[in-house]
Amino acid sequence: MKTYEKDDLLIIGAIKGLVSEGKEIEKILRKRMPDTAGLSISPSEMAGLREYIAADEPVVELFGHEIAYLELLMEFGKVRAPSPSYMVPVKVTKELGIPLIPLDMDDDEFADTYIRNVSGMDFVSHMMIEKKVSKKSFKVRDVEDFIMQWDAAINKNKGLMAVEREREEYMGKKLANLSKKGEMVAIVDFERMDGIIRSMVKYL
């Protein structure tokens, strides 16, 4: 986890899957009691998490590269899916009465972004990359290094990385606008944090 603070805005770059990240996020939310909170997922993903929680958290089906990611992440601590960095903010903000805002694109905006950047060959290439990454070994210094190496490997395709850059731009602009409306804590994916901040400062 890493943090960035400017005026009334605190951004938390959280590592997906680590249980310890969820615990730290909960401590921060309870201590700061912000006017609003933000989470780097889409509106439909947030609705899905709320339904998942309401259904007493049934077993989640994971795919090959998702399983590989969590297995590698276990070297650095206890893991869980769905990610505690998503689950905890949804649960805790509801308990505390803090509005939680989805920061990422909605499904239609994401689809348009994906279609504009990812060709048919890119799509096929990405499927192959996911299979290769699932079998890849990583030589890393720490968990942050692993996350950045994993992200570079899984988004090796230029079209996919262009999508991620547009997501960062979208979330950065949204955060810039939201940060002017009172104290806010935003939880974003560790690997997207720097790009989100670079985008955000352009709109402040």
Q: Which domain holds residue 174?
A: 2-203
Positions in the chain whose pLDDT score sits under 70: 126
Other CB atoms within a 10 A radius of the CB of residue 1 amount to 18
Domain total for the chain?
1
What's residue 122's pLDDT? 77
pLDDT tens for each residue of 134-155: 777 788 999 999 999 999 988 8
